[in-house]
Amino acid sequence: MSIHLPQTLNEALHMLQVVPHAQILAGGTDFMVEVNFNKHGVHDVIALRHVDELKKWSHDTVAGVVTIGAAVPYADMEHGELAQLFPALAEAARTVGSPQIRAAGTLGGNLGTCSPAGDALPVLFALNAVINVASTHATRSIPVADFMRGPKRNDLAQDELIVSVTIKTVAGWQGYAKVGTRNAMVISVASASLVLDHVNNSSRIALGSVGPTIIRCIQAEQWLQGVYDFTSHQALDDSIATEFGQRVSQESRPIDDHRSTALYRRHAVGVLAKRLLQRGSAQ
Amino acid sequence: MSETQFYSLRVNGKQREVTDAWLGESLLYVLRERLGLPGSKGACEQGECGSCTVIIDGAAVCSCLVLAASAVDTDITTIEGYSDGALTDVQQAFIDEGAVQCGFCTPGLIVAVHHLLEHTPRPSEMKVKEALSGNICRCTGYGRIFAAVTRVIEQRDHQ
Ligand SMILES: Cc1cc2nc3c(=O)[nH]c(=O)nc-3n(C[C@H](O)[C@H](O)[C@H](O)COP(=O)(O)OP(=O)(O)OC[C@H]3O[C@@H](n4cnc5c(N)ncnc54)[C@H](O)[C@@H]3O)c2cc1C
Ligand code: FES
Ligand code: FES
């Protein structure tokens, strides 16, 4: 058993290469719960705490691209410049756990765990985010929809580290909404993120907690494009919002579990989609 | 590091050595059981209750979710680090407002309130509620706790 504290990204990648079956530790908010409850052991840990390169984000204003380091905590996404660039991500970040969890929990950890209930994930899907991973011998950039392979399964190889997430800025409204049993400290029962793209006159909606992975509702998006012009700034007809909600519901694939029923989830996610569209088109 | 190798943590400004500890131990466990700092409380060990709240490099976090051996080279402040015997104004306000019953949640709340007021000296009511939303109290109800926070804000304003 060993604990490694790399200071740089290269050092971290090197350790990942030479320590077989190393475990990566970021904020620990998923990892340590498992350790404390003996769900998985601790053997050889590579802790990212001191790797400053992973805690930064940058904005290429010319290319319109933002790159967020894997170890940036939710607390940094809630307010400030990053929140202005991606309001949906800020809204999702604000719903995660509690201030203590948001100070520690990271985007890389949410992607590492890859739970269908992970709050950052529907937003990354709706924003068409790209996940940048690296090992000592190669780097890959994977669209988030290909990165998430199933419930708690991702495309990461044993010797790969999630380095950052790249997102293009979008001109248009975006938001995130979540249903749970209370406001703070709640894992979502159903969630949705909607992004309106005024340049391409299109929309993207992605759902959380209502399927084995995050679900993009391509058919509902295409239908909406045919009936509503996002650039017109015209009031949205109520019947369009309602039908959009129904269509989104139909594309969800929820199950019954300890948190809720499939029936409720299907209904709730439709209501969330309808409200997001109403909110977004009123801007 | 082997299974139980020596490491050292900077707690409340002092370098403290941890010897013969299993490397999978949480910071909460190490503080309480190995370093003689039982002020931080453990109730859930899964980040839900906040009674184990400490400050690491300026951020308030749950010490139950920190792998102790990974906190080498950080600055850790526990409830014990806030006073050297005399009560802080936050502690005194909790007593004066009757915001303590069994007291189990209190150390975590005191740390969280100090942290909040350090960064936001005059928080709105919403901000206070949000800042303390990760600290669960099962006895007093939150009314008296919020009253204690309000008292501190007013007292500091008059100083
Ligand atoms: C009380 C509580 C409430 C919570 N509430 C929410 C909530 O409301 N919404 C939500 O979405 N989540 C919630 N969570 C879960 C958790 O906080 C998030 O999933 C968080 O994003 C995990 O990030 P972390 O940095 O703590 O990850 P860690 O626990 O450090 O790691 C999680 C997993 O990801 C892997 N990993 C981490 N970083 C990398 C990397 N750079 N490269 C490769 N693999 C990596 C780790 O090996 C591990 O398998 C909650 C957790 C707790 C304890
Ligand atoms: S013991 Fe750490 S949050 Fe409950
Ligand atoms: S006083 Fe008992 S839990 Fe808060």
Q: For A20-78, what is each residue's pLDDT tens digit?
A: 899 999 999 999 999 999 888 889 999 999 999 999 999 999 999 999 999 999 999 99
| Average pLDDT along chain B | 95
**Final residue belonging to a domain, choices B81, B111, B136:** B81
How many angstroms separate the Cα of A188 from the Cα of each of A208, A260, B83? 8, 10, 40
pLDDT tens-place string over residues B35-68:
999 999 999 999 999 999 999 999 999 999 999 9
Position B73 scores a pLDDT of 97
**What one-character DSSP code corresponds to residue B102?**
S
Residues B8 and B68 in one domain: yes
Residues B102 and B50 in one domain: no
* ipTM of predicted assembly, 2 dp: 0.96
Residues B73 and B93 in one domain: no
Residues B93 and B152 in one domain: yes
Q: What is the mean pLDDT of residues B70-81?
A: 98
Q: What is the mean pLDDT of residues A156-169?
A: 97
Q: Could you tell me if A229 and A201 are in contact, meaning their C-beta atoms sit under 8 angstroms apart?
A: yes
Q: What is the mean pLDDT of residues A155-176?
A: 97
How many angstroms separate the Cα of A40 from the Cα of each of A31, A92, A105, A129, B48? 9, 28, 19, 30, 20
Question: Model confidence at B3, in pLDDT bands (50, 70, 90)?
Answer: low
Domain total for chain B?
Answer: 2
Q: What is the mean pLDDT of residues A140-163?
A: 97
Q: Which ligand is nearest to the CA of B51?
A: 2
Q: Which ligand is nearest to the CA of A24?
A: 1
Can you give the CATH number for the domain in which B20 is found? 3.10.20.30
Position B2 scores a pLDDT of 45
Just give the CATH number of A172-281.
Answer: 3.30.390.50
Q: Is the pLDDT of residue B84 over 50?
A: yes
Q: What is the Å distance from ligand 3's center to A107 Cα?
A: 33
Q: Could you tell me if A259 and A208 are in contact, meaning their C-beta atoms sit under 8 angstroms apart?
A: no
Ligand 2 neighbourhood includes B145 CB (under 6 angstroms)? no
- From-to residues of CATH 3.30.390.50 in chain A: 172-281
Ligand 2 neighbourhood includes B62 CB (under 6 angstroms)? yes
Sign (positive or negative) of CA dihedral A200, A202, A206, A211: negative
Q: How far apart are CA A203 and CA A225, in angstroms?
A: 7
Contacting residues for A21 by C-beta, under 8 A, at least 6 apart: A43, A44, A158
Q: What percent of chain A has pLDDT over 90?
A: 91
Q: What percent of chain A has pLDDT over 70?
A: 100
Q: Could you tell me if A86 and A167 are in contact, meaning their C-beta atoms sit under 8 angstroms apart?
A: yes
Ligand 3 neighbourhood includes B65 CB (under 6 angstroms)? no
Residues B152 and B104 in one domain: yes
- Arch. (CATH architecture) of A3-168: 2-Layer Sandwich (3.30)
Residues B74 and B106 in one domain: no
Q: Which of A28, A42, A97 sits opposite B66 (nearest CB)?
A: A28
**Final residue belonging to a domain, choices B62, B81, B100:** B81
**Nearest to A214, CA basis, from A132, A147, A131:** A147
Q: What is the mean pLDDT of residues B69-88?
A: 95
Position A235 scores a pLDDT of 85
Position A81 scores a pLDDT of 97
Sign (positive or negative) of CA dihedral B129, A94, A208, A55: negative
C-alpha distance from A81 to closest chain B C-alpha (Å): 19
How many angstroms separate the Cα of A86 from the Cα of each of A167, A170, A204, B67, B115? 9, 8, 14, 31, 27
Residues B142 and B76 in one domain: no
Residues B70 and B104 in one domain: no
- From-to residues of CATH 3.30.465.10 in chain A: 3-168
Q: Could you tell me if A241 and A211 are in contact, meaning their C-beta atoms sit under 8 angstroms apart?
A: no
Q: State residue B91 phi and psi, 5-degree precision.
A: -60, -45
Q: What percent of chain B has pLDDT over 70?
A: 97
Residue type, B88: T
Could you tell me the residue range of the domain that residue B122 belongs to? 89-158
Joined together, the tokens standing for residue A186 give 């709640």
This prediction has a pTM of 0.97
Please list every residue in chain B whose beta carbon sits closer than 8 Å to the beta carbon of residue A42: 23-24, 67
Q: Is the pLDDT of residue B1 over 60?
A: no
pLDDT tens-place string over residues A94-121:
999 999 999 999 999 999 999 999 999 9
The answer to whether B61 contacts A33, with C-beta atoms less than 8 Å apart, is no
Can you give the CATH number for the domain in which B127 is found? 1.10.150.120
Residues B40 and B59 in one domain: yes
Question: Model confidence at B4, in pLDDT bands (50, 70, 90)?
Answer: low
Q: Which of B23, B45, B131 sits opposite A99 (nearest CB)?
A: B131
Residue nearest to atom 4 of ligand 3 (CA): B137
Q: How far apart are CA B136 and CA B134, in angstroms?
A: 6
**Nearest to A120, CA basis, from A31, A112, A47:** A112
Bridge pairing between strands B59-62 and B53-56: antiparallel
Residues B144 and B106 in one domain: yes
Would you say how long chain B is, in residues? 159
CA A33 to ligand 1: nearest atom: 53
Q: Is the pLDDT of residue B97 over 50?
A: yes
The answer to whether B53 contacts A29, with C-beta atoms less than 8 Å apart, is no
Residues B41 and B103 in one domain: no
C-alpha distance from B116 to closest chain A C-alpha (Å): 10
**Final residue belonging to a domain, choices B81, B98, B119:** B81
